[in-house]
Amino acid sequence: MKKQLIATLVGGILLFVWQFLSWALLNVHGAEFTYTANQDRIMEVLTQNLEEGQYMLPTAPPNSTPEQQQAIMESSTGKPWATLTYHKSMSADMGMNMLRAFAIDLLSVFLLVWLLLQSANLQFKSALLSSLAVGVIGYLTIPYLNTIWFEESSIGHLVDAVVQWGLVGVWLGWWLTKK
């Protein structure tokens, strides 16, 4: 049990540190957020017209009939569109966000450790490749899927998936197979 806990703790720290580097220092996700000189005017219009939430523009109103939905889709084809997340207030307090992120990292590594330890004869290579598979599966089923539907950039998420889960895989491959 001690070996599992150490594997989880160090793996969680590796994930957390990479995520910090990726988002805060290395700008791996820079392509996902573009600056506009019109941001003040846009925010003013959004503040006057939106409640907090996520929006797909254009979209059909709630309770629209399938015919109304189809008409909006047809009339929107070839025209501008947007996805938008709007919040009424920005908070710079990152403490709870960081705590929650670290807890998720620990849980994710704990689950991977549990899966790896189901193997009767775990090898370094299988631990590394399994960890990379977890990262790639996570990437393909959420960020990459969003690129298909919403035409977003997900290269930063691919880099994260390979690097962070590769680091965790190297760690777990070494630690869990150590006698």
Given a contact cutoff of 8 angstroms between Cβ atoms, the answer to whether 109 and 12 are in contact is: yes
C-alpha 2: how far from chain center = 30
Of 128, 136, 110, 135, nearest to 177 by C-alpha is: 128
Strands (E), 20-173: 53-57, 82-86
Q: 2-20 vs 95-116: helix axis angle to the nearest 10?
A: 130
The pLDDT value recorded for residue 161 is: 97
Model pTM score: 0.85
What is the domain partition of the chain in residue ranges?
2-43+92-177, 53-86
The pLDDT value recorded for residue 113 is: 98
Helix (H, G, I), strand (E, B) or coil at 52: coil
Q: What is the mean pLDDT of each run of 10 residues along the chain (179 residues)?
A: 95 97 93 92 96 94 93 94 93 91 97 96 96 97 93 93 98 94
Q: 155-177 vs 2-20: helix axis angle to the nearest 10?
A: 160
CA distances from 65 to 59, 71, 79 (A): 12, 10, 22
C-alpha 47: how far from chain center = 27
